[in-house]
Structure 1
Amino acid sequence: MIFIKERTKPIYLLKLEAALRRVPDTHPNKQMILKEYLKHQSGFRGEKTVDYYLSLLPKEQTIILPNLRLQNNNNFHFQMDTLVLNPRFFLIIESKNTSGELVYDIETNELVRKKGTEMELFSDPVLQVERQKIQLIEFLRLLNIQPTPLLTLAVLTNSSVSLKMKSDYMKIPRNLIRAEALPSKLTEMNQSYKKEYINYQDLKKLGRILVKRDRPYNPNVLEKFDVKKEELISGIHCPRCFNFNLIKSRKGHWKCESCEFISKDAFKFSLNDYLLLVNSGINNCELRNFLKITAPRSALRLLSNYKKTGNTKGTTYHLTYYDG
């Protein structure tokens, strides 16, 4: 298995993490942000579980494209957790990282989680991945890609989940499996499909085209949750515990008074929050306000390694994401 596109934390999830750090607990929409974050963080963990089981398979002529979001000619987007490209078949994998007791009604396409007396309704992963199949077929048709068997799997990635059908006469769909069964399911598919529909060189070319067409979900989080820029918590946060109790030492380092972590790059992690939530461009005054720095010269030193446009008071510095 070759991962032609590395699975990294989605930009939307990074933005939600930044919002959790910077939006005050007193903001009326803070709980909405937290709920959205927990949902997407859980989904990301489930997708990483799928990656692990895929990595156990032989490194044959198979390409893995994780977290791919494509746009059809009708301007609608569709997203696939994992797309597997093989000369003999293509496979879409939809992961569902849900814990607890799940009851699946194949007739109404309802997936219900029971927790005590409470019930929570989820979208049907089988229906979801079949819808993605229809959309991908149309997308490939526009690229003049020859017909290839297109298979689907809905994978339950949480080890503590239990699944049962609503009625005894209902059978679990063959394309709804637990994550542990993924390697054997892929082996079964490889044995069932012998004919090659596309050579490996063209397969790699298709993989590169799909990566180029990838359009990650990247909304303005402040607008989405009705948060004003002025409402954000200002200051430099600790990269380890995320508290804002940092003091600057004479040696140019920041020390966290909460966990005693020492960092010379703490300000860069805080500027990530500005980049994710506000803008990629920042001037001296905006940096001082966001990081709670009083001296313009101190701010200028922090900005010295960033590319800039303009002169004197009109200078804008262009932030890049810092991952340590």
Structure 2
Amino acid sequence: MAGYNGEQSLLFHTNLLASAEVHILNDIRLQTPHYITQLDTLILTPTFALIIETKNFAGQLYFDHTFKQVKRTLNGKVENFMDPTVQVDLQRDSLKQWILHDDLPTDYPIETLVVISNPSTLIEASKFNYDVRKRVIHAHMLRTKFQELQLKYTNHFLSNGQ
């Protein structure tokens, strides 16, 4: 239920991005020749795609770059989880495979984000873990990050119909 609630709370932020050229798809299942992948949110624009993995973690999160895991501390209890940046990278690979089989442009840029939907969650990483600082955000920062990507990608790869 926590995951579902996190995805629902992200809807407010993703709906702010919607336009005639921005298509937001939720709970997408992609079938490739070898496996099925579930994407929390896929945002398609003519210039890039954005895969969002939503996490509704509470407490304090520490992203361990060396072992690709996340340590959560909540109410004095410590738990380890798989690093969601690894998960969203696998989702990007699946989307690339799917694109190959659907005759879409293979050079279509695909970005990934991990969005922490709980605004009180403390996100930490070592100062050397640039990847986390660039790809893990709180939900309220989604619009800002999306605007940065719109400035980064200006070449059109897809038509609205595609």
- TM-score scaled to structure 2, two decimals? 0.92
Task: Report matched runs for 1:101-180 at 5 Å.
Answer: 101-147=60-106, 148-165=108-125, 167-171=126-130, 172-180=132-140
Higher helix share: 1
Q: 1:44: which partner in 2? A: 4
Q: What letter matches 1:189 in structure 2?
A: L
Amino acid at match of 2:40: D
Alpha-carbon offset, residue 168 of structure 1 = 4.3
Structure having the higher Rg: 1
Q: Aligned partner of 2:44: which letter?
A: L
The residue number in structure 1 matching 2:48 is: 89
2:20 maps to 1:60: yes
Q: Percent identity?
A: 30
5+ residue gaps, structure 1, are 1-40, 203-324
- Equivalent pair of 2:57/2:117 in contact (CA under 8 Å): yes
Higher RCO by CA contacts (8 Å cutoff, separation 6 or greater): 2
CA-CA distance at 1:169 after TM superposition: 3.8
- How many equivalent residue pairs? 160
Q: TM-score, normalised by structure 1?
A: 0.47
Whole-angstrom distance in 2 between the partners of 1:60 and 1:191: 18
Moved over 4 A (4+): none
Q: 1:60 to 1:188 in 2, by over 3 A?
A: farther
Q: Any idea what the Cα deviations from partners look like across 1:261-316, whole Å, max 9, x if unmatched?
A: xxxxxxxxxxxxxxxxxxxxxxxxxxxxxxxxxxxxxxxxxxxxxxxxxxxxxxxx
Task: Indicate the SS of the match to 2:114.
Answer: strand
Q: CA deviation at 1:43?
A: 0.8
Root-mean-square deviation over aligned CA pairs: 1.4
Taking structure 1 as reference, are residues 190 and 116 closer, same or farther at Cα in structure 2, changes over 3 Å only?
Answer: same
C-alpha distance in 2 between matches for 1:77 and 1:125: 18
> In 2 relative to 1, CA 101–52 (structure 1 residues): closer, same or farther, beyond 3 Å?
same
Residues in 2 aligned to 1:66 and 1:58: alpha-carbon distance in whole angstroms:
13
- Determine the C-alpha separation between the residues in 1 that align with 2:14 and 2:74: 31
SS in 2 for 1:144: coil
1:57 CA drift (Å): 2.7
Secondary structure at the counterpart of residue 174 of structure 1: helix
* Partners of 1:169 and 1:191 in 2: CA distance: 26
User: Residue 80 in 1 paired to residue 44 in 2?
Assistant: no
